[in-house]
């Protein structure tokens, strides 16, 4: 079997990582670079039910010894892994840039280091955890967090390395073993993570990577009754399928799903800052779940805001994601480009106004122009459905109540962005906008101890801090009758 693919000088294994060893499959799938779709990066091992069984078996067998370690002992492994991520951040950034086209500079400076921070943060939180202890009705009581068992983690194709570490870290810190199934459109960085886990000396079977199609190997993983936790980030239709499997086996399940977040701008806001942030929603070609894709501006400042918005949008540069001047990356896959273009074409047919963009940047590439649409009404598809591309909508409102109503008018509720110069309005509207996270006068500032997740069709459960550690644990109340022991 081919041991390694060479991706811009970075060696990446195309095989699964199961029980501390590389494992091949009889069939493969292609991974190509979005920056040049003719560039075949390699053929990746395509897992099936047998592969899933092998991985769950390895995780099940490794679980008792890993769970028996103290939080401090597990933290030592995780800090070594974080060190290795920092040492290899350039290699990880190169491979992920080629695999899914996110800007290499952004990966190297922000997202890959965040991966190291995820492991450090959860390792330390687990060590610092203090059990709840109290006396009641003649008994001494403690709440104990127990490791749950093997956890299946399924991650999306956007920001795959950071999001994988965000989910894997709390599972390992809590004492669970892990089977990671990365998205088939961007599998390479998960394979590099497996190399670093191996180098950090994790016991075989504690961390496993299985590659392939969701309907094949993913389906087998989530239906295995030996799995005790499932954590998923992706689409609503896939979440429904996984949720049914989790329900069948009575397995706790978290889902971080789509978003259709508002960017709500009031007349007392810093208009220039708000317009600049709005134009920034085209970063990564809008392939960000928390993207403020619905721009909603108070009528009295709409004209000034829109002028500044176009000025900032004009500064975007579409091109090679390895180039530091590029601000808008290629989109992940031809299928996704056609999906996004379908939204734009249906908007035209619906009578929505295409204010700018609306076309492919190059017919032979995967870039779509930054597009702004003024919908005919709030029921327009482009307002109500997640597009996950460089397509924003522009609406106006007169009163605060009307603005909040528009912000809350979709089935999603992942996040929201509010711009205002009033402290009272920041508190009032910040509380009124329905979303798992609402930012006021900023965006994407994250405290890793805070809960993260969505409302409505944006998700189920919470990640982040102790919320994630508790999800990956079984809680036990231990009660001992006072004066009954010596």
Does a structural domain hold residue 362? Answer: yes
Same domain, 290 and 361: yes
Same domain, 299 and 416: yes
In 3D space, the residue among 58, 38, 12 whose CA is nearest the CA of residue 194 turns out to be: 12
Judge if pTM exceeds 0.75. Answer: yes
Counting the structural domains of the chain, the total is 2
Give the model confidence (pLDDT) of 351-372 as tens digits: 999 999 999 988 778 999 999 9
Which listed residue (256, 369, 386, 463) is catalytic? 256
Give the model confidence (pLDDT) of 96-114 as tens digits: 999 999 999 999 999 999 9
Same domain, 363 and 289: yes
Same domain, 123 and 266: no
Among this protein's residues, is 262 annotated catalytic? no
**Whether residue 478 has pLDDT greater than 80:** yes
Same domain, 49 and 137: yes
**Whether residue 449 has pLDDT greater than 70:** yes
Same domain, 211 and 305: no
Give the model confidence (pLDDT) of 199-209 as tens digits: 999 999 999 99
- How long a stretch of residues is the chain? 486
How much of the chain exceeds pLDDT 70, in percent? 99
Does a structural domain hold residue 150? Answer: yes
Residue 177's domain is classified under what CATH number? 3.40.605.10
Cβ atoms 264, 295 nearer than 8 A: no
Mean pLDDT score, 109-127? 97
Q: Write down the pLDDT at residue 398.
A: 98
Same domain, 273 and 182: no
Does a structural domain hold residue 400? Answer: yes
Same domain, 318 and 428: yes
Same domain, 221 and 267: no
Does a structural domain hold residue 448? Answer: no
Same domain, 382 and 236: no
Give the model confidence (pLDDT) of 417-436 as tens digits: 999 999 999 999 999 999 99
Give just the sign of the alpha carbon dihedral 213, 219, 220, 222: positive
Domain housing 123: 5-257+454-477
The average confidence (pLDDT) of the chain is 96
Residue 357's domain is classified under what CATH number? 3.40.309.10
In 3D space, the residue among 376, 392, 398 whose CA is nearest the CA of residue 298 turns out to be: 398
Among this protein's residues, is 256 annotated catalytic? yes
Does a structural domain hold residue 92? Answer: yes
Using CA atoms, how far apart are residues 122 and 85, in angstroms rounded to an integer?
A: 15
Which listed residue (96, 97, 184, 289) is catalytic? 289
Using CA atoms, how far apart are residues 141 and 262, in angstroms rounded to an integer?
A: 45
Does a structural domain hold residue 172? Answer: yes
**Whether residue 2 has pLDDT greater than 80:** no
Same domain, 310 and 248: no
Instruction: Identify which has the larger pLDDT, 2 or 103.
Output: 103
Does a structural domain hold residue 216? Answer: yes
Same domain, 69 and 176: yes
Does a structural domain hold residue 445? Answer: no
Give the model confidence (pLDDT) of 33-48 as tens digits: 999 999 999 999 999 9
């Amino acid at each position: 079997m081919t041991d390694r693919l060479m991706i811009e000088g970075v060696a990446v294994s195309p095989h699964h990582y199961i029980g501390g060893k590389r494992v091949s499959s009889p069939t493969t799938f292609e991974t190509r670079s979005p920056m040049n779709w003719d560039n075949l990066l390699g053929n990746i091992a395509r897992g099936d039910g047998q592969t899933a069984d092998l991985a769950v078996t390895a995780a099940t067998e490794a679980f008792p010894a890993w769970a028996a370690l103290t939080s401090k002992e597990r933290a030592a492994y995780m800090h070594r892994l974080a060190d290795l991520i920092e040492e290899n951040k350039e290699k990880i950034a190169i491979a992920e840039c080629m695999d899914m086209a996110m800007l290499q500079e952004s990966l190297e400076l922000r997202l890959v280091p965040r991966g190291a921070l995820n492991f450090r943060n959860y390792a330390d939180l687990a060590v610092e955890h203090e059990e709840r202890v109290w006396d009641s009705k003649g008994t001494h009581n403690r709440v104990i967090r127990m490791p749950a068992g093997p956890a299946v983690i399924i991650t999306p194709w956007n920001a795959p390395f950071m999001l994988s570490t965000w989910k894997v870290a709390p599972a390992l810190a809590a004492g669970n073993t892990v089977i990671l199934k990365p998205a088939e459109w961007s599998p390479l960085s998960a394979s590099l993570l497996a190399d670093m886990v191996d180098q950090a000396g994790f016991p075989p079977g504690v961390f496993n990577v299985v590659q392939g199609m969701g309907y094949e190997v993913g389906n087998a993983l989530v239906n295995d009754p030996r799995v005790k936790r499932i954590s998923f980030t992706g689409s609503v239709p896939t979440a429904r399928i996984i949720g049914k499997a989790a329900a069948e086996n009575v397995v706790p399940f978290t889902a971080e799903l789509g978003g259709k977040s508002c960017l709500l701008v009031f007349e007392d806001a810093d208009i220039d800052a708000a317009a600049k942030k709005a134009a920034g929603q085209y970063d990564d070609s809008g392939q960000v779940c928390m993207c403020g894709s619905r721009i909603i501006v108070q009528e009295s400042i709409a004209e000034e805001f829109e002028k500044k918005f176009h000025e900032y949008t004009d500064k975007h540069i579409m091109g090679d994601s390895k180039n530091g001047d590029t601000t808008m990356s290629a989109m992940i896959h031809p299928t996704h480009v056609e999906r996004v273009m379908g939204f734009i074409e249906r908007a035209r047919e619906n009578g929505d106004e295409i204010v700018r963009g609306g076309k492919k940047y190059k017919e032979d590439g995967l870039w779509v122009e930054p597009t702004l649409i003024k919908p005919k009404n709030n029921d327009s598809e482009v307002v109500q459905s997640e597009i996950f591309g460089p397509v924003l909508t522009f609406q106006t409102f007169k009163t605060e109540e009307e603005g909040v109503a528009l912000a809350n008018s979709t089935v999603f509720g992942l996040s929201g962005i509010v711009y205002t110069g009033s402290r009272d309005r920041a508190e009032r509207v910040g509380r009124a906008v329905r979303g798992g996270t609402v930012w006021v006068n900023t965006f994407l500032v994250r405290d890793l101890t805070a809960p993260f997740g969505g409302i409505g069709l944006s998700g189920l459960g919470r990640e982040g801090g102790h919320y994630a550690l508790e999800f990956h644990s079984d809680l036990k109340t231990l009660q001992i009758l006072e004066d009954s022991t010596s």
